[in-house]
Amino acid sequence: MTEASMVIVGGGKAGARAAVAFRENAWKGRVTLISDEALAPYDRPPLSKAAIMDEAEPQPVYLLDEGMMASLEVNFLRGSAATGIDRDAKTVSLADGTKIPYDRLLIATGAEPRRLSQTGAERALLLRDLADSAEIRRKFIDGKSVAIIGGGFIGLELAASAAKRGCRVTVIEAQPRVLMRGVPPEIATRIAARHAEAGVAILTSASIAQIGLDKILLSDGREIPADIVIAGIGAAPRIKLAEQAGLALDNGIACNTYLQTSDPHIFAVGDCCSFPHPVFGNERLRLEAWRNASDQAIVAVENMLGGQKPYEAVPWFWTDQYELNLQIAGLPQRGVSIVERVPKENALILCHLDGDGRLVGASGIGPGNSIARDIRLLEMLIGKKAAPGPALLADPAFQLKSLLKP
């Protein structure tokens, strides 16, 4: 296969990691990376945090710069939108009419922010790329009123950033509490309390009737001041290419456990794909997480080169809110009972057990890195399908690492 051509569509974390992985696997053939952005691949987690809060003007944190791509001999097509896939001819069409041949194709198109549908929705800013972050940063001026629609991770990260820049911030959430998806109430309550301490108003079970020029009208008649409106209501997988090519879809591009689509020559990774997870009874998941994008790229590349490696990394996600670090491992929603573990002062970890006592999730919150070590060990235990006794999990003096020994 040394004369074959590997093509990656998507210049985010997954696409960049895949480009490197081909060379790490001693692939000597052609590697083409297609990105619709003009910039080389850069890191996105800072866009809602450091890029807005730092004193200096934000600069991209490159995952692959020009020199790295040259040394890896990656053919980088910047600012090139992929518009179609011809599965019979095995080519990817670009917006300018160019056709790029492939022997194996990796779709890493990610996800895009969901848009609001209410009257006045065009006022709402979205956050996906560096330009969006720069625009939001310019508008976060001391004293301005900021309304953030959506109390998920991105919405709350932006709320913290706006509050630190002196804005008057209101978070509007349709659900009964913030962080409804995958975060237990005990931890969500702590996050909400910290936002309140910073002066952020959080309105839950709130329905929006209309977005005006300088305010938001709620269905119950309340008016929320809003010089700036930001929508943070989740993300949708970017599946247009796959859909037009006739690939199977299921909450994203449907892949098997090897991250292979319904076309054996096409693979997909990152936010745009779903896959059966062997650690959780082959439940089909779609994960929007930085590390998942990286880990999947590594496995997909190995399989594109002839391997048969299932993707079985335990889901893991983190966010920083002020001085607090929140981490989620596994699938806490699968748990039917919770064991509390307090590793350090002001830190809390919840261990989620299923009906058989198996550890299926871990949720933690604490200042700095106070929960990092235990969450990492619990993540490894989840991957091993371990069923530690509740008494051991609850004892902060007990060394979780000992449970990993053969």
Token pair of 72 as six digits: 């890896």
Q: Is residue 9 part of a domain?
A: yes
Cβ neighbours of residue 151 closer than 8 Å, sequence gap 6 or more:
171, 172, 173, 175, 177, 178, 179, 180, 202, 204
pLDDT over threshold 80, residue 406: no
State yes or no: pLDDT of 231 exceeds 80: yes
Q: Is residue 98 part of a domain?
A: yes
In a domain, 181, yes or no: yes
Determine the Cα–Cα distance for residues 274 and 287; give it in Å rounded to an integer: 7
Q: What pLDDT shows up at residue 2?
A: 43
Query: Does residue 254 share a domain with residue 167?
Result: no
Rounded to 10 degrees, what is the CA torsion of 70, 72, 74, 78? -50
Q: How many CA atoms lie within 13 A of 46 on its CB side?
A: 17
pLDDT of residue 56: 81
What's the CATH number where 282 sits?
A: 3.50.50.60
pLDDT score at 89 = 98
Domain range for residue 299? 5-37+61-111+236-304
Averaged pLDDT for residues 187-215: 97
- Average pLDDT of span 159-174: 97
182-186 contacts at long range (C-beta below 8 A, 24 or more positions apart): 182/317, 182/328, 182/331, 182/332, 182/333, 183/326, 183/328, 183/332, 183/363, 184/332, 184/338, 184/350, 184/352, 184/363, 186/348, 186/350
Q: Which of 16-30, 55-69, 112-126, 272-286 has the lowest mean pLDDT?
A: 55-69
Distance between CA 307 and CA 59 in Å, rounded? 38
**Across residues 364-388, what is the average pLDDT?**
97
DSSP element (H, E) containing 185: helix 185-197
Predicted TM-score of the model (pTM):
0.95
What mean pLDDT comes out for the span 92-110? 97
Same domain, 120 and 192: yes
Does the residue 328 lie in any domain? yes
Note whether residue 205 is domain-resident: yes
**Does one domain contain both 246 and 107?**
yes
* Residue 384 belongs to a domain: yes
State what percent of residues in the chain have pLDDT above 90: 96
Separation CA 121–CA 135 (nearest Å) = 17
What is the mean pLDDT of the segment spanning 102-113? 98
CA neighbor of 202 nearest in space, from 180, 183, 177, 221: 177
| 241 and 294 both lie in a single domain | yes
Under the banding of pLDDT at 50, 70 and 90, the label for residue 3 is low
Q: Quick check: is 53 in a domain?
A: no
Share of the chain above pLDDT 70, in %: 99
Give me the helix-helix angle, 185-197 and 153-164, nearest 10°: 20
pLDDT in tens, 199-211: 999 999 999 999 9
Domains identified in the chain, total number: 3
In the sheet that holds 91-94, the strands lie side by side as 82-86, 91-94, 99-101
Last residue in a domain, options 245, 271, 304: 304
Together in a domain, 269 and 358: no
The predicted pLDDT at position 1 comes to: 41
Q: Where does 270-395 have alpha helices with state H?
A: 290-304, 372-383, 390-394
Residue 314, in any domain of the structure: no
Give the strand order in the sheet containing 348-353: 316-321, 324-330, 359-367, 348-353, 337-341
Q: What residues have CB less than 8 Å from 79, skipping those under 6 apart?
A: 35, 36, 37, 38
Number of alpha helices (DSSP H) and beta strands (DSSP E) in the chain? 10, 25
Q: How far is CA 80 from the centre of its chain?
A: 23
